[in-house]
Structure 1
Amino acid sequence: MFILKRVVCVGGTIVPQCTALSVSNFSAYSCVRSRKRNSPYSSVDSGRYSSLVKSVMSSRVSSQTPETLQTEDEHVYGPVVKGPTPSSRPEMRVPKTLHPFLHFQETLQAEEPESGPPVRIVLNRAGRSSVPSVTRILQQTLSPEQIFYLERWKRRMIAELGEEGFKEYSQKLFRQGRLFHSAVEDILVSGATWKNRNPLETSEYPPEVQGYMESISHVLEDVGAVRATESTVHHHTLNYLGIVDCVARYRGVLCAIDWKTSEKPKPFLSNTYDNPVQVAAYAGALNNDGNYKYQVENGLIVVAYKDGSPAHVHQLSSELMLKYWTTWLIRLEEFTEQRSSHASSAFEQKRGAV
């Protein structure tokens, strides 16, 4: 009797079947008792194999890199055909109107002397409620990357401190910054140098401020001829305003100075994010504000630390200030476009409701 073995696939499963040539001599027993072929997987350590599978399946990160995945994909399907790009570099945006940073016509003839107390023009919102501030414009024109990292930092802080804890933390930072600026202004207005100050006078500052003041002590020794502190500047042509922290000479160079506090070291100018753009915006407004009879071409960013470690000082040359002034003009245009778009949408919704 001959028994014919064949293999069929049922529902994706391979099933061996036996068929006898003679029906009368059919024997199921002979099929069941037929000798099995040795599986190549019979020698595999099932325990180790199982643990390996679990470790791979539970991993959150693929063991393959994007490069190896792309290589494998191209081997199977062929290389990706990409359309031609018009340029390998993205086109750099330039301002539609390049407003001048300096405005010498009205200031050269009647420049103010550097002697005397510094000017402090208090912000008065009466009649200027629609004029946006430099801070507001920069906040509303952040890049998608800046927004991503800012939101991620905020979520991480809330996860650590909770909603109320994060609110208290933010209020504490704001209070420290305000006290710090007030302490710096007191020194600059008094005309006293840091070298000549009595150590007992320094200890009069709130504990939150003493470390910051020690941090900028080496900077204050090089600051003189203070012309303005915490003073409002208004660019009437471009219609924005701000409050410049200080205008003074740093090592003989007249600068728009911005005092900053930070919990992390910022040794490089790139670590200060939009601060250079902010300083350029303040200086450009001051240069076009009739209340100030002089021009400021340079900038200075001073980053103070609470632990008293020496502050980092970032000088902005006239060339850098022009560069950041151009960036500011672009951000200002973006803000104006956004506000115009929102106003149009609100008008359309109101008209549709009627």
Structure 2
Amino acid sequence: MFALKRVLSAVLQSTSLCVSHFSACHCLKTSRKRSPYSSVDSERYSSLVKSVMSSRVSSQTPETLQAEDDHIYGPVVKAQTPTRPEVRGPKTLHPFLNCEETVETEEPESGPPARISLNRGQGRSFVPSVTRILQQTLSPEQIFYLERWKRRMIAELGEEGFKEHSQNLFRQGKLLHSALEDILTSGAAWKNRDPSETPEYPPEVRGYLESISHILEDVSAVRAIESTVQHATLNYLGIVDCVARYRGVLCVIDWKTSDKPKPFLSNTYDNPVQVAAYAGALNNDSNYKYQVENGLIVVAYKDGSPAHAHQLSSELMSEYWKTWLLRLEEFTEKRASHASSTLPEKR
């Protein structure tokens, strides 16, 4: 028994020494990290917590807060859901093509291109032109931009200067159309021809001819030049610049001049509607024994830079034909309204 007590005492002493030695070694090897809260003023922090916890909870609700904001800042204006403008179609969708005629796919017969002159004396005195109808049915936005351009030009050139500028543009356009008529009816090849070396044409149009020289290389089989077309059913007429094949496709071609580049079809404003109107009239005119589904707008530049050619596929022509029918309906309604307002009152 005495021996057992001595053994237990020796074990306890040995364990105490090991634990003491381990703790001392651990303390020497690992340094205690300093807490970031040790630098906080605990007295001031405690005072702040007591202040927050002792304050009364606000009795305001989301509704009262909204009413207060409305009083200070005014009521919230909620944006309305944008609505798409209603797409209006023509009351009567007159056909673009004449079903009795067949669309020509073969090369036309030989012979000079047609040129039907406009004769107002043959029942055409009261038939409005495509140009007139489009001018009298411009949208308010188009009128605004047109008037703004006119004011700027007058401010820059003066009244007389602007008048002279407009006359020069008209004169250059006529000269260009005359030169193109000569070129396209002569049958002479334009390819590899230098337009600057054409003394037979006025200097005012040589730049334009150079501009459209690459277009003329792809024009062939001319069917009509400066020729009148009339839609008897819809009662309007126009004069097409040219009907010919462009890269093998039969088109109504409209030649335009511009001082500014017009690389996109949208830059040509109402020109596509005009071309569709001409084609629709031609297709329903008994003087022409073929149908035209496509169009081409060529914008020439006086400085000789390459002209832009905007092709109108049959699908595009159909869409612009609907737009033309709407403009024609608007013109007819305006004319009827004006006529009724000028009638003498019955007594």
Give the TM-score of the pair, scaled to structure 1: 0.74
Query: Could you tell me which amino acid in structure 2 is paired with residue 76 of structure 1?
Result: Y
Cα distance between partner residues in 1 of 2:85 and 2:195: 55
Question: Would you say the 8 A contact 1:134–1:240 is kept in 2?
Answer: yes
Question: Would you say the 8 A contact 1:112–1:294 is kept in 2?
Answer: no
> Quick one: percent identity of the two aligned structures?
80
RMSD between superposed Cα atoms in Å:
2.3
Map 1:19-30 → 2, pairs under 5 A:
none
Map 1:1-354 → 2, pairs under 5 A:
76-80=73-77, 88-107=83-102, 113-126=108-121, 127-195=123-191, 197=193, 202-347=198-343, 350-351=344-345
Query: Could you tell me which amino acid in structure 1 is paired with residue 116 of structure 2?
Result: I
Query: Could you tell me which amino acid in structure 2 is paired with residue 296 of structure 1?
Result: V
The number of equivalent residue pairs is 277
Query: Could you tell me which amino acid in structure 1 is paired with residue 91 of structure 2?
Result: K
**C-alpha deviation, 1:75, in angstroms:** 6.3
Bigger-Rg structure (1/2): 2
What secondary structure is seen at the aligned counterpart in 2 of 1:351? coil
**C-alpha deviation, 1:138, in angstroms:** 0.3
Cα distance between partner residues in 1 of 2:307 and 2:239: 22
Q: Greater share of strand residues, 1 or 2? A: 1
Cα distance between partner residues in 2 of 1:128 and 1:118: 23
Unaligned runs of 5+ in 2: 1-68
Cα distance between partner residues in 1 of 2:231 and 2:296: 20
**C-alpha deviation, 1:112, in angstroms:** 9.4
Cα distance between partner residues in 2 of 1:243 and 1:316: 18
More deviation in 223-232 or 112-121?
112-121
Q: Deviations over 1:155-198 (max 9, x none)?
A: 11111111111100000000000000100010011111212657
Cα distance between partner residues in 2 of 1:143 and 1:107: 36
Q: Deviations over 1:26-84 (max 9, x none)?
A: xxxxxxxxxxxxxxxxxxxxxxxxxxxxxxxxxxxxxxxxxxxxxx99962212378x8
Distance 1:74 1:338, change over 3 A: farther
Question: Would you say the 8 A contact 2:299–2:309 is kept in 1?
Answer: yes
Unaligned runs of 5+ in 1: 1-71
Cα distance between partner residues in 1 of 2:256 and 2:196: 25
**C-alpha deviation, 1:330, in angstroms:** 0.3
Question: Would you say the 8 A contact 1:229–1:245 is kept in 2?
Answer: yes
Question: Would you say the 8 A contact 1:215–1:311 is kept in 2?
Answer: yes
Distance 1:276 1:351, change over 3 A: same
Question: Would you say the 8 A contact 1:224–1:249 is kept in 2?
Answer: yes
Give the TM-score of the pair, scaled to structure 2: 0.75
